Amino acid sequence: MTHELFRQDAYLREAPAMVAEVGEQGVVLDRTVFYPLGGGQAGDSGVLLLADGSALQIADTRKVKDAEGKPTALVAHVPAPGQEALLRDLRPGTAIVARIDWDRRHKLMRFHTTTHLLCHLVPQLVNGCSITAEYARLDFNMTDPLDKEALSEGIARLVAAGHAVEIGAISDEELDANPALVKSMSVQPPRGTGRVRTIRIGGLDGPVDFQPCGGTHVANTAEIGGVVVTKIEKKSASTRRVVLGFS
C-alpha cells in the first residue's frame, strides 16, 4: 500500500519516497503527500524530483484501480504528457522527493473546508460534490430555494470566528450507531480499517460540523479567507446546487 502522509498532515508539501512501481496508471510510491481524486476533491499535481535534479511533472493523482475497476490502497501519480525519457529512469527502489503544487492544494483545502461550513448552513443531505482549485460545488437534496447572499454572509461569519478544524476517528460501530453523521448520499465514509476518519469544526460541546471525511482541510476556518457563493442553481426538482468561488 501507499502510506498517505496527507491524512495526518495536510500541510506537508513534500516528502522523500521510493518508487514502488511504474505502471500504466502512473508512478506508484511507497509513501506520498499527493492526494488522489476522491470524495469530490480533485487529485493533486506537482513534481517528482529525481536525484540528478530533474523534475517529472505530475498532472493528476488517482487511486490505482484493480482489474475490476475497484480502487486499491495504491496511489498513482499520473505524469504529464511528453516525459517518457524521465519515466525510463524510474525503477522500483528509485529514491525521489514528491512535491505537490502547494498553491493549488491550498485552494483545494480552503474550498473543501468551506463545503463543511455549507453543510452547517444548509442542514440537508448532500447528493453531489466537486472541489477544484477554481471553484467548488455542493449539491443539496432539497426543494426549497437558497439565498446566495445569506449563505455568503454565513460563510464569512464562520471564517471570522476562527473555528479550529480537527482530525479525529471513530469506530465503524460508532458510525453505524450514529447514521446521521453521514451527510452525503453520494460519498461513502472512508471505511475499511475499523476506524473512520472524522473532521470536527468548532468545539466538542457544539461543533459547527462533524462528519466522516477523507479529504484535506485547513487547520482553522480563518485560513479560508475570502470564499463566497457565486451561484445557486436548480439542478433538478430535488437538487439545489451551491457554487463557491474566491472573492
Taking the CB of residue 188, how many other CB atoms lie within 10 A of it?
A: 11
Residue nearest to Zn ion (CB): 213
**Interface with Zn ion includes 189 (CB under 5 A)?**
no
**Is 141:125 a contact under the CB 8 Å cutoff?**
yes
- Half-sphere CA count of 216, side-chain side, radius 13 A: 29
Taking the least distance from each CB to Zn ion, the nearer of 16 and 225 is 225
Least spacing, CB of residue 209 vs Zn ion, in Å? 9
Nearest distance in Å: CB 66, Zn ion: 26
Output the smallest distance, CB 57 to Zn ion, in A.
27
Q: Binding-site residue total for Zn ion (CB under 5 A)? A: 2
Least Å from the CB of residue 197 to Zn ion: 9
Shorter beta-carbon distance to Zn ion: residue 36 or 215? 215
Closest CA to 220 of 167, 149, 168: 167
The dihedral of CA 125, 129, 131, 132: what is its sign? negative
Using CA atoms, how far apart are residues 209 and 149, in angstroms rounded to an integer? 21
The binding track of 46-65 with respect to Zn ion, each residue x by CB under 5 A or -, is: --------------------
Of the pair 26, 214, the CB lying nearest Zn ion is at 214
Distance, CA of 241 to CA of 236 (rounded, Å): 9
CB 30 within 8 Å of CB 3: yes
Least separation in angstroms between residue 217's CB and Zn ion is 6
Query: Cβ closer to Zn ion: 28 or 199?
Result: 199
Provide the minimum distance between the beta carbon of 20 and Zn ion in the complex, in angstroms, as a whole number. Answer: 27
State which residue, 143 or 186, has the beta carbon closest to Zn ion. 186
Strand order in the sheet with 195-201: 165-171, 195-201, 209-212
Other residues' Cβ atoms within 10 Å of the Cβ of residue 232 = 15
Between 17 and 187, whose beta carbon lies closer to Zn ion?
187
- Cβ at position 24, least distance to Zn ion in Å: 30
Nearer to Zn ion, 22 or 213 (CB): 213
Which residues, in sequence order, are bridge partners of residue 53? none
Contact track, Zn ion, 195-224, x by CB under 5 A? ------------------x-x---------
For 118, how many CA atoms within 13 A lie in the half-sphere containing its CB?
A: 30
Length of the chain: 247
Q: What DSSP designation does 69 have? A: S
Under the rule (CB under 5 A), what is the footprint of Zn ion?
Answer: 213, 215
